[in-house]
């Protein structure tokens, strides 16, 4: 059993060689790539998923494990409602315990202003008949047991869920493989083969695969691969820090956050913790190139992100990362099998301090594990889910902007239909690739 966080030293679970030809090729073994492969395989479409490192080793295992409808962008909501249904179905089908539980999500408010800010989502929730409701101070105290602070109130959605990402995504990959998807780990896609405006194949480190459809679901690496082929998406990555406690008495079975800390009970009885506002953006060529597109997000939350002048070598937007390479030479993707940033010490100190301050009964609590992750963000905090107009057969599902785990199976289902030329069943215009270049104003989605 691989240890967590996954790294390139973990044993390969899905072996090559890749096939010489495949109807569909998926780049990236995160929740988006894995569930797309699964839905295609269930319909007997020959599909090959290529992962440069290990399945779920990047964002899809490092996340908090919240599966929430609460606080979603209005256009994502119908997809995440479907995703919640799919999570239940897939948890059954995969036959493994992925820690899926309906335990609720709660946002805690310290001020009347924060409470007033919930009203907008309450209107969206009403349209979709969600069970989201506002709690007063007493009701909040009853829900979050033993909190030292008195909150003004909260917004809560009892039907929201949690799952253990590092169990769930590998289990779904195994299910996809059983259904017939060919998954190959340690196999980077170096370049796409395009002629006469159409996808013809992909060049991988293990040779060429002929295909007519490619889905780029490469998380933080998507823009690097796409830019090499003239498809520009203003995607950047921010580093975040997460920690885990050992098992503790239950204070709340679900996931909750205030302005200082986010916490989520795990299946083993411990809590997964994250500090508020600890995002770090490494400045690289893409950050400068796309800076103006991020101005609205910056103005909405001027202190939400800190900046560092350069990324460690090998990161997607590092100054030294090549932007062009040949199909038969080593690409930046093999250069970093698993993007594995270390947790920030200051973030860990703050999370430990704030958790103990909020729950003084855990005065002696120690963090048993910590890790970092790179969130792939878009300027409007909603993903790109589209086909590339200029290149026939090229599909993109990326930039999940910090909330792609919960919605993942919904995106996978939608994209699998898009690839097959079927109606997706949802209005996807908000997620179109062209929105950054067709003169549309940036319309910010909610940040958490
Ligand atoms: C700390 C943290 C907390 C989060 N908390 C939540 C949460 O509670 N709830 C929620 O809904 N979301 C959460 N998210 C966001 C969520 O984890 C991501 O949105 C989601 O996992 C993205 O999935 P993905 O498949 O798009 O990308 P990823 O999981 O990043 O997978 C992309 C994969 O593509 C591979 N790849 C890239 N380029 C290539 C190539 N050229 N060839 C082959 N393989 C390639 C990479 O190695 C990687 O494994 C969180 C994220 C982080 C980092």
What is the tens place of the pLDDT at every residue in 356-389? 999 999 988 889 999 999 999 999 999 999 999 9
If you measure from the C-alpha of residue 58 to the centroid of ligand 1, how many angstroms do you get, rounded to a whole number?
Answer: 5
Q: Which of 251-265, 292-306, 383-397 is least confident? A: 292-306
- What kind and span of H or E run contains 138? helix 137-143
* Nearest ligand 1 atom, CA 337: 47
| C-beta of 64 in contact with ligand 1 (< 6 A) | yes
For residue range 22-81, list pLDDT tens digits in order: 999 999 999 999 999 999 999 999 999 999 999 999 999 999 999 999 999 999 999 999
Residues near 112 by beta carbon (within 8 Å), at least 6 away in sequence: 152
> Three-class SS of residue 368?
strand
pLDDT surpassing 80 at residue 4: no
Mean pLDDT of the residues in the chain: 96
Task: Find the 402 Cα to ligand 1 centroid distance in Å.
Answer: 8
pLDDT band with cut points at 50, 70 and 90 for residue 1: very low
Give yes or no for residue 192 CB within 6 A of ligand 1: no
Task: Evaluate if residue 2 carries a pLDDT over 60.
Answer: no
57 lines ligand 1 (CB under 6 A): yes
Q: Is 239 in the pocket of ligand 1 (CB under 6 A)?
A: no
At 56, give phi and psi (nearest 5°): 65, 15
Ligand 1 atom nearest the C-alpha of 34 is 25
Residue 360, burial from CB neighbour count under 10 angstroms (0-12, 13-18, 19+) = exposed
Residue 285: pLDDT band with limits 50, 70, 90: very high
**What is d(CA 411, CA 285) in angstroms, rounded to the nearest whole number?**
29
CA of 408 to the centre of ligand 1 (A): 10
Mind listing the pLDDT tens digit for each residue in 162-190?
Answer: 999 999 999 999 999 999 999 999 999 99
Can you list the pairs that 23-26 forms with residues at least 24 positions away whose Cβ atoms lie under 8 Å?
23/47, 23/211, 23/212, 23/213, 24/48, 24/211, 24/213, 24/214, 24/215, 24/419, 25/49, 25/50, 25/189, 25/202, 25/209, 25/211, 25/213, 25/214, 25/215, 26/50, 26/214, 26/215, 26/217
pLDDT band at 299 (very low <50, low <70, confident <90, very high): confident
Q: Whose CA is nearest to atom 26 of ligand 1?
A: 219
Residue with CA nearest ligand 1 atom 22: 404
Report pLDDT for 302.
Answer: 76
Q: Whose CA is nearest to atom 4 of ligand 1?
A: 63
pLDDT at 365: 87
Is the distance from the beta carbon of residue 31 to the nearest atom of ligand 1 less than 6 Å?
A: yes
At 448, the pLDDT band (50, 70, 90 cuts) reads low
């Amino acid at each position: 059993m691989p240890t967590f966080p996954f790294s390139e030293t973990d044993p390969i679970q899905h072996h090559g060689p890749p096939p010489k030809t495949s109807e569909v090729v998926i780049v990236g073994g995160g929740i988006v790539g894995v569930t797309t492969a699964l839905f295609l395989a269930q319909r007997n479409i020959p599909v090959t998923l290529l992962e440069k490192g290990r399945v779920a080793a990047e964002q899809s295992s490092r996340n908090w494990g919240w599966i929430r409808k609460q606080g979603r962008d209005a256009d994502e909501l119908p997809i995440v409602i479907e995703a919640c249904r799919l999570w239940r179905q897939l948890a059954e089908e995969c036959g493994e315990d992925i820690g899926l539980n309906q335990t609720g999500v709660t946002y805690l408010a310290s001020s009347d202003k924060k409470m007033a800010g919930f009203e907008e989502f309450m209107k969206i929730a009403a349209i979709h008949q969600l069970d989201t409701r506002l709690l007063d101070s007493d009701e909040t105290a009853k829900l979050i047991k033993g909190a030292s602070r008195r909150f003004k109130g909260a917004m809560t959605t009892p039907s929201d869920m949690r799952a253990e990402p590092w169990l769930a995504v590998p289990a779904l990959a195994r299910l996809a493989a059983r259904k017939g998807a060919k998954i190959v780990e340690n196999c980077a896609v170096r370049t796409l083969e395009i002629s006469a405006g159409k996808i013809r194949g992909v060049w991988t480190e293990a040779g060429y695969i002929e295909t007519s459809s490619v889905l780029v679901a490469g998380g933080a690496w998507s823009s690097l691969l796409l830019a090499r082929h003239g498809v520009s998406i203003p995607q950047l990555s921010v580093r975040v820090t997460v920690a885990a406690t050992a098992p503790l008495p239950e204070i709340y079975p679900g996931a909750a956050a205030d302005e200082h800390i986010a916490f989520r009970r795990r299946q083993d009885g411990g809590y997964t913790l994250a500090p508020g506002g600890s995002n770090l953006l490494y400045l690289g060529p893409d950050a400068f190139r796309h800076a103006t597109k991020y101005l609205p997000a910056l103005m909405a939350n001027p202190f939400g992100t800190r900046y560092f002048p350069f990324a460690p070598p090998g990161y997607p937007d590092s100054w030294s990362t090549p932007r062009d390479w040949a199909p038969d030479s080593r690409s930046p993707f093999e250069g970093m099998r698993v993007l594995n940033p270390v947790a920030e010490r200051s973030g860990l100190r703050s999370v430990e301090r704030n958790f103990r301050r909020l729950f003084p009964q855990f005065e002696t609590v120690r963090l048993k594990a910590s890790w970092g992750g790179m969130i792939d963000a878009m300027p409007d905090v909603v993903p790109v889910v589209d086909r590339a107009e200029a290149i026939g057969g090229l599909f993109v599902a990326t930039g999940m902007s910090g909330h792609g785990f919960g919605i993942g199976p919904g995106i996978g289902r939608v994209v699998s239909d898009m690839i097959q030329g079927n109606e997706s069943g949802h209005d996807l215009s908000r997620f179109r690739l062209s929105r950054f270049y067709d003169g549309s104003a940036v319309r910010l989605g909610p940040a958490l």
